[in-house]
């Protein structure tokens, strides 16, 4: 049975167990990892490189949004993508968090091997 603790809190607990405070608090790092995962999801659902680049150009050609509102937009569109893809969002998130607990050493090693300040994982 899943804990009644919020998913975000459980992810924060995993982050604390896995990474140093400086890595956990690095907003650019967290942003790059989110973008990487979002692109991987888009790719897995058939989004082409050309479509992704066109969307990057479209987004960066517009004024910067409000992070609070954009998080809401991400959550709504992720939930709707999960629905149309027949993926249970809560189950997918819980499964990945459990998998990450089992891979802390590998995740730490990957983090430590990449150049500091790079948006690209190594």
Average pLDDT score over residue span 99-122: 81
Asked if residue 103 belongs to a domain, the reply is: yes
Q: How many domains does the chain have?
A: 1
Residue 121, pLDDT score:
65
Asked if residue 2 belongs to a domain, the reply is: no
**pLDDT greater at residue 25 or residue 121:** 25
Residue 26, pLDDT score:
92
Question: What secondary structure, in 3-state letters, does the chain show?
Answer: CCCCCCHHHHHHHHHHHHCCHHHHCCHHHHHHHHHHHHHHHHHHCCCCHHHHHHHHHHHHCCCCCCHHHHHHHHHHHHHHHHHHCCCCHHHHHHHHHHHHHHCHHHHHHHHHHCCCCCCCCC
Place 109 in a pLDDT band, splitting at 50, 70 and 90: confident
Note the pTM of the prediction, 2 decimals.
Answer: 0.85
Asked if residue 97 belongs to a domain, the reply is: yes
Asked if residue 118 belongs to a domain, the reply is: no
Which domain does 69 fall in, by range?
7-113
């Amino acid at each position: 049975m899943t804990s009644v603790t919020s998913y975000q809190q459980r992810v924060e607990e995993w982050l604390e167990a896995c990474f140093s405070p400086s890595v956990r608090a690095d907003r650019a790092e967290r942003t790059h990892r989110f973008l990487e995962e979002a692109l991987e999801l888009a790719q897995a659902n058939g989004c082409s490189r050309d479509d992704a680049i066109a969307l990057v150009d479209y987004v960066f050609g517009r004024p910067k949004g409000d992070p609070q509102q954009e998080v809401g937009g991400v959550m709504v569109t992720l939930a709707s993508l999960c629905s149309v893809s027949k993926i249970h969002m809560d189950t997918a998130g819980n499964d990945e968090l459990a998998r990450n607990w089992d891979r802390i050493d590998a995740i730490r090693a990957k983090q430590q091997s990449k150049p500091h300040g790079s948006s690209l994982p190594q």
